Structure 1
Amino acid sequence: MSSSTRQLFGGAITAVAPIHLVDASDLRQVPDTQEVLLYPDSSVSIIVEVLQRVDPPDDDSAIRFHFDSLAHDNSATTSTVDAVAVIPNTRGDKTPPAITLLGVQSVAKFNQEGQDQVRVLMALFRVEDQRVDLVVTFNVPVASQDHGAVGEEGWKTARNHFDAFVRSLCIVDFGLFA
């Protein structure tokens, strides 16, 4: 699958992503603090969100806070963190390192009886000078009630896309956070 550098927030942030992703703002209203990209052939979504920096000073607690907030917002009945790691920025620009999390949430969608199993890939870029947390979330349904699940092969693909997206993410214009 072909990828290219995608401009987010008017070019203030760039990241490598599959070229076939759909910008959700073409379909519905998206808050100014978010960029939402959708996979046209599944229920996988990518959300890049500019948030106020949270209090936990250590990386592990901060990303778990954002994961728990997502679970709360999704009304998840269960949520589990499988791994937390840091990916250093080796490019030499001022983009902070990415704190990454791999987790799973059980979520009931659209008042359905059953639960969707959603694997969550999350990256946190802590922009300390600006008191901002930039959060990237890939929501990857691996079991769903509406047949939007991607299965094991789709999960591997999404993980590769997440890795490329996070490793390439570059904050070009820190004025975005002013």
Structure 2
Amino acid sequence: MAEAAEPLQTRSLFGGAMEMAMPARFLDVSDVRPVPDNQEVWSDPSSDQSVVVEILEHSAHVPDAEAGAFFFRDLAAESDAPAQQLEGCTSLAPGDVPGVPEASARVVARGWQAVSKEREPAAAANRVRIDLAALRLPGRGSDVLVVLSSGADAAPGSSAAAAAAAGAGRRAGAEGGGALLAAMLRTLAVRDYSLFGA
């Protein structure tokens, strides 16, 4: 897999129970608004790019081979995305995520979703590149998702379009999201498995 083009900085997640390196430009969203206890949300507003690490109850009814598509579509439903396109899923080797050796399966799903920013109408949904990794931990009763969202096409009338027109901010390299996600996954590590409560 290709290397990320920018240096990464290790960040503590879930009170130190996990860690992952990401670009230094990413800021902890919990510093400005509440974030659910099962999520870590980091964002770079200047590039309209964000990463979410989420711990979910293990979806035992979903076969590993279908996990990427399942979680991609579940994310679209949670985001009320009026449109989506799954481009493909890839299984990862254990060496691609060495810090989570208990994962029984590791899969990446890639595609696009139409997503509106908070309090904006569906008509202002922006086309967002989604690179989603699902790490399955059935022995811990959990699935861990790492979702990298990269703004791509701003919808007319959206705040993202207004910012672009005003020259504020820079667009993330949406096509490079896969390389960045791969680089971050290589640094993801579970330090305390009691985080999963199983």
Give the alignment's TM-score, normalised by structure 2: 0.80
- Of 134, 137, 145, the residue aligned with 2:147 is 137
Q: In the alignment, is the contact (CA less than 8 A) between 2:99 and 2:188 conserved in 1?
A: no
Partners of 1:135 and 1:68 lie apart in 2 by 13
Structure 2 residue 101 is the aligned partner of structure 1 residue 94 = yes
The whole-number CA distance in structure 2 between the counterparts of 1:20 and 1:95 is: 30
> Which is worse superposed, 62-71 or 27-36?
62-71
Q: CA deviation at 1:12?
A: 1.2
Q: Report what 1:13 is aligned to.
A: 18
User: What residue ranges of structure 2 are gaps of 5+ in the alignment?
Assistant: 1-5, 165-169
Contact 1:55–1:62 at 8 Å: present in 2 too?
Answer: no
| Larger displacement relative to structure 2 (46-55 or 112-121) | 112-121
Q: How big is the shift at 1:95?
A: 4.3
Asked if the contact 2:51/2:147 (under 8 Å) is kept, the reply is: yes
**What is the match of residue 172 of structure 1?**
191
- CA contact 1:60–1:84 (8 Å) conserved in 2: no
Report what 2:31 is aligned to.
26
Task: Indicate if the aligned counterparts of 2:26 and 2:50 stay in contact, CA closer than 8 A.
Answer: no
Give yes or no for contact 1:87–1:167 (8 Å, CA) kept in 2. no
Unpaired runs of 5+ in structure 1? none
Give the aligned residue type for 1:44: Q
Identity of aligned residues (%): 28
Choose from 33, 41, 66 the match for 1:36: 41
CA contact (8 A) 2:67 2:107 kept: no
TM-score by length of 1: 0.88
Contact between 1:49 and 1:134, CA under 8 Å: does it hold in 2? yes
**Greater mean alpha carbon deviation, residues 84-93 or residues 24-33:** 84-93
The aligned residue for residue 46 of structure 1 is: 51
Task: Give the match for residue 61 of structure 1.
Answer: 66
Question: Which residue identity lines up with residue 190 of structure 2 in the other structure?
Answer: I
1:92–1:51 CA distance, 2 compared to 1 (3 A) = closer
Secondary structure in structure 2 of the residue aligned to 1:48: strand
